[in-house]
Amino acid sequence: MASCTIGFIGGGNMAASMIGGLIANQWPAEKIIVSDPTAETRNKLQQQFSITTADNNQQVAEQADVIVLAIKPQIMQQVCLALAESLSQKQSVVISIAAGITCSALKSWLGDSISLVRVMPNTPALLGVGISGLYAQGTSAEQKALAIEVMSSAGEVVEVEQESLIDSVTAISGSGPAYFFLLMEAMEKTAQQLGLNQQQAAQLVQATANGAAQMAKQTGLDAAELRRRVTSPGGTTAAAINQFIDEDFIGLVDRALHAAEKRSIEMGEQFANQETL
């Protein structure tokens, strides 16, 4: 339904990534509007994507059929309370991409009758190769299909049946690009210590990350088997993998991802009932 208008409340990193995905997927620029308090952010989005921008959220709420709440969890309550009246007058579908903030908190601010979908996207949406977890509560089949269509412009969509699984998705794929970037940073640093220049280091690491991801996706083999196929007995990979395992890399990843899930749950609790500013 590319004829509907999508509005973003907040034009930061994640909104820009999603807008990039929508535009790359032929969503008409004139059907995208974004509000952000910072003129520099609005100008950048306007120049980059030729979309409409606004300095107030009400304009977006009034014009858009699908509203993406792309603001920080910390200010969600304040922004939702201010938009509640305009949104209740329209049959818009509201998509929240905020980490942690639950449907019940959002409904307590926006009203029970709101058509609400919680989504956890990730920044590769910019290139149309993101992935989103999606949980729809109390929406019609048509409204859910519309939310899935919007998110599909940013990449793959995985629907979850329980809201708590959005915290799990956040820990895996929402935050996940940062984990891979951290590994890439570390590998590039060592590559330079090993004598490669910065450009060579970046090229080698990027192509390796991309190749590994493509192999995992396209061969249908699981990651453990693909790893075994690189690891010759007594060879170089084994030397590195043994070091990772001796230093509990698997346990470290497990603890880090649990910390992300825990923080998502905590943020939901922390920002659900703030004093109204």
Ligand X SMILES: NC(=O)C1=CN([C@@H]2O[C@H](COP(=O)(O)OP(=O)(O)OC[C@H]3O[C@@H](n4cnc5c(N)ncnc54)[C@H](OP(=O)(O)O)[C@@H]3O)[C@@H](O)[C@H]2O)C=CC1
Ligand Y SMILES: O=C(O)[C@@H]1CCC=N1
The site for ligand Y (CB under 6 A) is made up of: 99, 170, 174-175
Q: Which does 102 bind (CB under 5 to 8 A by kind): ligand Y, ligand X, none?
A: none
Query: CB of 180 within 8 A of CB of 209?
Result: yes
* 11 annotated to bind ligand: yes
At residue 218, what are phi and psi to the nearest 5 degrees? -90, -25
Non-local CB neighbours of 204 within 8 Å, separated by 6+ positions: 191, 196
Buried b (16+ CB within 10 A) or exposed e, 198-207: eeebbeebee
Residue 205 sits in the site that holds ligand X (CB under 6 A):
no
Distance between CA atoms of 55 and 84, rounded to whole angstroms?
A: 18
Side-chain-side CA neighbours of residue 90 (13 Å)? 19
Non-local CB neighbours of 104 within 8 Å, separated by 6+ positions: none
CA-based end-to-end distance of the chain: 37
Residue number of the CB atom closest to ligand Y? 174
Nearest residue to 15 via CA among 58, 65, 51, 59: 51
Q: Which of 7/100 has CB closer to ligand Y? A: 100
Question: Between residue 56 and residue 95, which ones bind ligand X under the rule CB under 6 A?
Answer: 57, 70-73, 75, 79
Q: Which of 8/27 has CB closer to ligand X? A: 8
Residue number of the CB atom closest to ligand X? 12
Shortest distance, position 121 Cβ to ligand Y, whole Å: 9
Nearest residue to 150 via CA among 32, 12, 9, 56: 32
Q: Which of 159/226 has CB closer to ligand X? A: 159
Give me the 238-277 binding string for ligand X, x by CB under 6 A, dash otherwise: ----------------------------------------
Distance of CA 130 to the CA centre of its chain: 7
* 70 annotated to bind ligand: yes
Residue 174 sits in the site that holds ligand X (CB under 6 A):
yes
Shortest distance, position 204 Cβ to ligand X, whole Å: 25
Shortest distance, position 171 Cβ to ligand X, whole Å: 11
Shortest distance, position 166 Cβ to ligand Y, whole Å: 11
Q: Residue 25: helix, strand or coil by DSSP?
A: coil
* 12 annotated to bind ligand: yes
Shortest distance, position 129 Cβ to ligand Y, whole Å: 16
Instruction: State the binding site.
Output: 9-14, 57, 70-73
Question: Per the annotation, where are the binding residues for NADPH?
Answer: 57
Annotated binding-site positions for NADP(+): 9-14, 70-73
